[in-house]
Amino acid sequence: MFKSGFIGIIGRPNVGKSTLLNMIIGEEIAIATHKPQTTRNRIMGIKNREDGQLIFLDTPGIHKPVSLLNRHMVDAALNAFGDSELLLMVVEANAGCRDDDQLVLHSLRDVKIPVILVVNKIDLVEKTTLLPLFDRFSTLFPFAAIIPLSALSGAGINILLDEVWKLLPEGPQYFPEDMMTDRSERFIAAEIIREKAILLTRQEIPYAMAVVVDAFKEIEKNNLLRIQASIIVEKDSQKGILIGRKGTMLKRIGTEARLSLEKFFALRVYLELFVKVRKDWTNDARALKELGYGKKSY
């Protein structure tokens, strides 16, 4: 029997949703960092197997929105519910049940499709701590299954995939076999640059940045990819920090991003980075839309 369907990966920020998507697909299509609120859009990852096509939707972490950007992120996550046949609610084995987990559970109150609880990061805890946690979450929602795993090491992933397959309906192959994601190479390039910038900056800067790819051109005869991109920030002071003294910070971001881009695209990359200010863009509906955080870009 061939089965297929859409599986929304949901949960509060930083629980490992994007890491899980990457481990399932076997490629780094979604950026993942130790800082919460890394993912800002919905990102599709397609897993083909002989008996099915599992189409996963990574989503931003559900949290209490402060800015318009936050609002977009939470909407993008909630919007994925309606397009899914099955949901994976990801929680952290080492964190118990947090307030934002409760927020996620609250958003599930009218959901009619099955929900699997994925207890991630089991590499960080003693096995004996798992059962009480399963019990706690079972009292809060009627999960179709509870799967402990480590998205980082891959332990338990195959058990999850079999369980997902079991719960999916019979269906066709929706996407061609060689398609891995719905996101463009430009999108992934911008995300890789944003990831490196997040990892190298502190405090509010990671949350104040957007990355736009201005030019993306493969020069085939040289095996070279030319990328021009801008990091957009909210304030002049943030621009100063991102550029750094004598440009050192921007140079570091550029070097790290180039190495990752070269690995992902398997090409030599020539990367040019700029920093621009767009005042208070995280609360400006028009700017958000232009930067890829509008309704159409959930």
Per-residue binder mask for ligand GTP (CB under 6 A), 147-186, x = binder: ---xxx----------------------------------
Contacts (Cβ under 8 Å, ≥6 apart) of 233 = 205, 208, 209, 239, 242, 275, 276, 277, 278
On the 0-12 / 13-18 / 19+ scale of CB atoms within 10 A, 126 is: exposed
Q: Which does 33 bind (CB under 5 to 8 A by kind): ligand GTP, Mg ion, none?
A: ligand GTP
> If binding is defined by CB under 6 A, does position 60 make contact with ligand GTP?
yes
Residue number of the CB atom closest to ligand GTP: 61
Question: What amino acid is encoded at 289 in this protein?
Answer: K
User: In this chain, which of 3, 4, 10, 16 binds ligand GTP, going by CB under 6 A?
Assistant: 16
Judged by beta carbon distances under 5 to 8 A according to partner kind, the member of ligand GTP, Mg ion, none in contact with residue 151 is ligand GTP
Cβ proximity to ligand GTP, 5 vs 11, nearer residue: 11
**Choosing among Mg ion, ligand GTP, none, which partner's interface includes residue 285 (Cβ < 5 to 8 Å by kind)?**
none
Query: Taking CB within 5 to 8 Å according to partner kind, which of Mg ion, ligand GTP, none is near residue 171?
Result: none
Residue 283 has what DSSP assignment? G
Tell me how far CA of residue 282 lies from CA of 65, 67, 87, 120, in angstroms: 12, 6, 29, 30
Q: Does 230 sit near ligand GTP (CB under 6 A)? A: no
Contact between 17 and ligand GTP (CB under 6 A)?
yes
**How do beta strands 115-120 and 86-92 pair?**
parallel
With binding defined as CB under 5 A, does residue 39 bind Mg ion? Answer: yes
Stretch in the footprint of ligand GTP (CB under 6 A) among 34-42, 130-138, 209-217, 265-273: 34-42
Residues 6+ apart with CB under 8 A from 220: none
Q: Return d(Cα 187, Cα 232) in angstroms, integer.
A: 15
Closest CA to 291 of 246, 242, 237, 232: 232
Is 118 in contact with 88 (CB distance < 8 Å)? yes
Identity of the residue, 41 or 53, whose beta carbon is nearer to Mg ion in the bound complex: 41
Q: How far is the CB of 179 from ligand GTP (least distance, A)?
A: 22
- State the DSSP code for 219: E
Which residues of this chain interact with ligand GTP, rule CB under 6 A?
Answer: 11, 13-19, 32-34, 36-39, 60-61, 120-121, 123-124, 150-152
Which residues of this chain interact with Mg ion, rule CB under 5 A?
Answer: 17-18, 38-39
